[in-house]
Amino acid sequence: MQAASISELKTSASEYLSKVKAGAEILLTDRGNPFAKIIRLHRSELPADIYMAQLEQRGLARVGKSALPADFLSMPRPLDREGLALKALLEEREDGR
């Protein structure tokens, strides 16, 4: 783990943050006394709303803009007598998507 003083961090912030993005941990010191650590966040540690916003920015998801109806979970499911939804899901799995 690399240590850096506050003044070093101020003058070379982008350099230290690049190291953190690459997986390094930086121990911050104030007058030689450690007081904080900068570490990279893993995807599982991101709050869901931030993660969804990132996916939406990259065009990988669309976040709904309205709430579901109050009785949504008790509504009858649509019928798929021909099994088209299952067929599409299985095809997607075979394609590796």
Whether 4 is in a domain gets the answer yes
pLDDT 10s per residue in the chain (97 long)? 899 999 999 999 999 999 999 999 999 999 999 999 999 988 778 788 888 888 899 999 888 888 888 999 999 988 998 989 999 999 989 887 5
Centroid of chain to Cα 67: 22
Domain that holds residue 27: 1-65
pLDDT at 97: 58
The answer as to whether 90 is a domain residue is: no
Q: 32: phi > 0 → left, psi -120 to 50 → alpha, else beta; which?
A: left
Number of separate domains in the chain:
1
Predicted structure pTM score: 0.49
| Among candidate residues 6, 12, 64, 8, the one with its CA nearest the CA of residue 34 | 6
CATH number of the domain within which 28 lies = 3.40.1620.10
The two three-digit tokens of residue 89, written as one number? 């899901």
pLDDT (0 to 100) of residue 42: 80
Q: 52, 42 in Cβ contact below 8 A?
A: no
